[in-house]
Amino acid sequence: MGKYIVRRLLQMIPVIFGTMFIIFAMVFALPGDPTAGKCGERPCPDAYIAEYRAKYNLDDPLPIRYAKYLGQVAKGDLGTNQYGVKVTEDLSKRYKVTGQLALMAVATEIVIGIAAGILAGIRRGRFIDNLVLVSTLVVISIPVFVIGSVLQYFLGVRAGWFPVTVSSEATTYELLLPAIVLGSLSVAYIARLTRSNLVENLRADYVRTAIAKGLTKRRAIGLHALRNSMIPVITFIGFDFGSLLGGAIVTERIFNIQGIGGYIFRSIQLRDGVAVVGAVTALVIVFLFVNLIVDLLYGVLDPRISHD
């Protein structure tokens, strides 16, 4: 196990550097003047342009600029955005909010999605199964911004059960409704994925053999069928967590959440390349570690999967 973890950590290094270079090249190779609009409607003075280009090494070739940026990253410095604020300071504040929002959304997916999928799989062809299939299909067919706006109006404005917007403190209660909205689509996918895998495993020979040897149906489902059914579900949850961190732009804008999704979107609009590269690099690192955890969970769910 230890050798596997070390090997995976070593494999992350070229992935991180390669991803950083691709993002860096894509952001800073875009056509146009990066100083356009920085001084309002009037063109920027020549002295400001020269200082700006020298500060961000815009006159150097791309490989040299990337090497200088890596030197900063090695010191723990992701650069400074256009407002003179350290990118690490911005990310530390916003990742706390978005990370909490994503964890709450994943918890919603696990509790509601897996529970609904298990009920539908056990009672295949009955009312609860048809209800889960129809309701999840409805959720999948509705865009997230529609779900967010509807729940915000009915549960926030009309009923008053949840805050309409999230304050700067971003408490757990304030993030509860946005987390439900953010995880709603994934809840539907997880429920259908759990249901289909559980139905398939319940038909397998090893489950029927376990029941024939005297094992109760509940233990056969929970001990054998359900554990094997969770492997693709865990894979989806791990991938979804990384997607939620960077893909919460719509939900954050609906509920006025100062998170990482809106930060990346605004940085792209302002052509703040240093902020975009730093934020996306942090997302890549988190995504890689989450996938490592998912791979380790495979061995817990199925002892036949070895990490030696």
182: pLDDT strictly greater than 80: yes
Hey, what are 54's tokens?
């020298």
Q: Check residues 262 and 105 and name the one with the higher pLDDT.
A: 105
Q: What is the pLDDT of residue 135?
A: 92
Interatomic CA distance for residues 195 and 210, integer angstroms: 21
Average pLDDT of every residue of the chain:
82
The residue length of the chain stands at 308
Paired tokens of 139: 């959720």
Mean pLDDT of 185-207: 86
Closest by CA to 30, choosing from 282, 276, 283, 278, is 276
**Dihedral (C-alpha) 90, 92, 96, 99: value to the nearest 10 degrees?**
90
Contact residues for 233 (Cβ-Cβ < 8 A; gap 6+): 114, 117, 190, 193, 194, 197
Show the tokens assigned to 82: 């256009």
* Predicted model pTM: 0.79
CB-CB contact of 251 with 148 (8 Å): yes
* pLDDT exceeds cutoff 70 at 32: no
User: Which pLDDT value is given to residue 113?
Assistant: 92
Give percent above pLDDT 90 in the chain. Answer: 11
pLDDT tops 70 at residue 271:
yes
Q: How far apart are CA 292 and CA 295, in angstroms?
A: 5
24 has a pLDDT exceeding 70: yes
Domain residue limits, the chain: 2-74, 100-258
pLDDT number for residue 112 = 92
Residue 175 has pLDDT above 70, yes or no: yes
pLDDT digits (tens, 9 = 90+) for 227-257: 778 888 888 888 888 778 766 778 888 888 8
Would you say residue 190 has pLDDT above 90? Answer: yes
Average pLDDT score over residue span 48-59? 75
Q: Which amino acid is at 288?
A: L
Q: What is the DSSP string of 96-161?
A: HHHHHHHHHHHHHIIIIIIHHHHHHHHTTTSHHHHHHHHHHHHHHHS-HHHHHHHHIIIIIIIS-S
CA separation for the pair 282, 275 (Å, rounded): 11
pLDDT-derived band of residue 305, with 50, 70 and 90 as boundaries? low
172 neighbors 166 (Cβ within 8 angstroms): no
Comparing 21-30, 116-125, 158-167, 194-203, the range with the smallest average pLDDT is 21-30
